[in-house]
Structure 1
Amino acid sequence: MKTILFATDFSEASENASMIAMQMAVQLNARLVLFHAYQPWLFKTDFPVKGNLNPELQRLEAMRNLARLRRKLAKSSNTKVMAEVVAREGLTLDVLQEMVNDYKPDVLVMSTAGDAPQAARLFGSLTTAMIARTTVPMLLVPPTISTLHIRQLTLALDLTKTVDAVALDSVARFALAFEAAVDMVCITGNPDDPALRKAAEHIRELFRFVPHTMSLIQGEQLTENLQRFIDEHKTDMLVMLPQAHGWFEQLFTESNTQRMARQSDIPVLAVV
């Protein structure tokens, strides 16, 4: 892992997530890029507006806040790792995609909630919306998490569909980098299906160099059964492999990965 991109809105929850990004950069000796998108004003108003409407002053303010965050991270981590800071004008999801294209990070780190964590848990956030658009792995950090402990991963699988071998390789490399074990789980209506068991054995072969387990669990409600598995196995991080959806379905349907990221109390790694 060479480059970690962290997107911030300068909220308290996002600041906690920045600690995770810095800890990963230090542990993996990776480049860290701190990024903020400041919003353009798309209309004029006759009412007094609190804040600065000048784009250049907005950019300077964003850069000052990013520099402050960089100093805080360097001090808290007691390291000489110096993050790069970037502020760009534009709508958050669009500019974030530009940053991913330009910097080609190995992972994008974001908090699952900004200034309104309870609303994000109920209705979702820009972070969960980004899951449907990302072309790189995303680490989604709950607002209460500020310390990185990765010893036990849970990898949720849908063995009824073809599993992306490249994504599986990324998960295996991630586990090896952190010396973590992986508990793989498939929630299914028919755990005795020979085709599912054959697919499970094939994936276990791909993870032969990673300490792991494989569980096929009877159940229909994925999120409830998956949460129960996470609680029972004392998981440090949930890993999911988002499925591609059409644009119309994205408008009206929340994916399993988005739902788990919104509700989870542990970090969720979405690997594409």
Structure 2
Amino acid sequence: MKTIVFATDFSKGSRKAAETAAQIAIKTKAKLVLFHAFRYIIPYDSEISMLTVSSKELENASIKKLKRLKDKLLAIYPDEKKIEIQTREGLVVDALEQILAETEADLLVMGSVGDSPIGTKYFVSVSSTMINHSKVPMLLVPPKTKFSMYRNAILGLDFNFDIDTQILDKIIDFLRDLDVSVDLFTCADDSEYTEKAALKIREKLVHIPHTFTIYKDKEFSKSVLAIAKNSHADLIITLPKKHNFFERLFVESNTQRLVLNDKLPILMVI
């Protein structure tokens, strides 16, 4: 892992995510890029326009806040020397796509919720949209997470779909870089077929400490959270499926339901 991008809206809910990004950067010796996207909206009312700030003022304010965040992280983690700041005007998803491509990022870290119900819906919306656009794994960190470097992860697998080998390689790289063991599980009735499919996955994980369990509970997201709690996991890894426009409007995905938990970070590998 060479570059980690932390995207922030400067909310209180994102503070834990900032510290998580910094600790992962130290562990992997990666560069950490602190990023904020702002959007300047031209008012239609000429009288209101006299009271609004300019695009340049918004940019300067963003840079000032990013510098303040950088100073705080350096005070907490003096060993982290490679921190850069970046800001961009535009829609958050578009700006994130640009910065991830420009920095050739290996990981995107964000807080999973905002400081209000609207803020929470906003973050879930951004993460859901990024699933259909980004090629970079995303780590969503809840504000109540207790982070002391990940040790045990939960990886839920759905063998009704082919698992991309490149995505699996990304997961293996992450687990190896952070020295994390993983509990593999799937919800299925046909244990014989599932065991054969799982064997191919386990062969690739030969150098990663792992276990594998089959559950018959069909409620995937509920099962994930229950298993994570019972096994004292500190990270959930998902392989979210991409949905078309209409599916995103009417279908609440397992990933969306998992993101709304307030304690366990979610790593979405895309």
Q: 1:9 to 1:116 in 2, by over 3 A?
A: same
How far apart, in 2, do the equivalents of 1:195 and 1:202 lie?
12
User: 2:238 matched to 1:240?
Assistant: yes
Tell me by how many angstroms 1:251 deviates. 2.6
Shifted more, 237-246 versus 114-123: the winner is 114-123
Q: 1:80 to 1:119 in 2, by over 3 A?
A: closer
Q: Helix, strand or coil for the counterpart of 1:124?
A: helix
| Conservation of the 8 A alpha-carbon contact between 1:111 and 1:127 | no
Q: 1:258 to 1:132 in 2, by over 3 A?
A: farther
* 1:96-245 correspondence to structure 2 within 5 Å: 96-116=96-116, 120=120, 124-145=124-145, 147-188=147-188, 190-192=189-191, 194-245=192-243
How far apart, in 2, do the equivalents of 1:84 and 1:52 lie?
29
Structure 1 spans left out of the alignment, 5+ residues: none
Shifted more, 11-20 versus 41-50: the winner is 41-50
Tell me by how many angstroms 1:156 deviates. 0.8
The residue type paired with residue 61 of structure 2 is E
- 2:53 is aligned to 53
Tell me by how many angstroms 1:131 deviates. 2.9
- 2:266 is aligned to 268
- 2:249 is aligned to 251
Tell me by how many angstroms 1:164 deviates. 1.1
Identity of counterpart residues, as a percentage?
Answer: 33
The residue type paired with residue 194 of structure 2 is L
- 1:90 is aligned to 90
Tell me by how many angstroms 1:51 deviates. 8.1
Count how many residue pairs are aligned between Structure 1 and Structure 2: 270
Tell me by how many angstroms 1:122 deviates. 10
How far apart, in 2, do the equivalents of 1:264 and 1:218 lie?
26
Runs of at least 4 residues off by over 4 Å: 46-52
Query: Structure 1 length normalisation: TM-score?
Result: 0.92
Tell me by how many angstroms 1:200 deviates. 0.8
Partner deviation per Cα, 1:218-266 (whole Å, 9 max, x = no partner): 1111111121111111111000011122222123222211221122521
How far apart, in 2, do the equivalents of 1:163 and 1:40 lie?
41
Query: Structure 2 length normalisation: TM-score?
Result: 0.92
The residue type paired with residue 28 of structure 2 is L
Partner deviation per Cα, 1:173-214 (whole Å, 9 max, x = no partner): 2111111111001012x042x222110111111101111001
Q: Helix, strand or coil for the counterpart of 2:115?
A: coil
Pairwise CA RMSD of aligned residues? 2.2
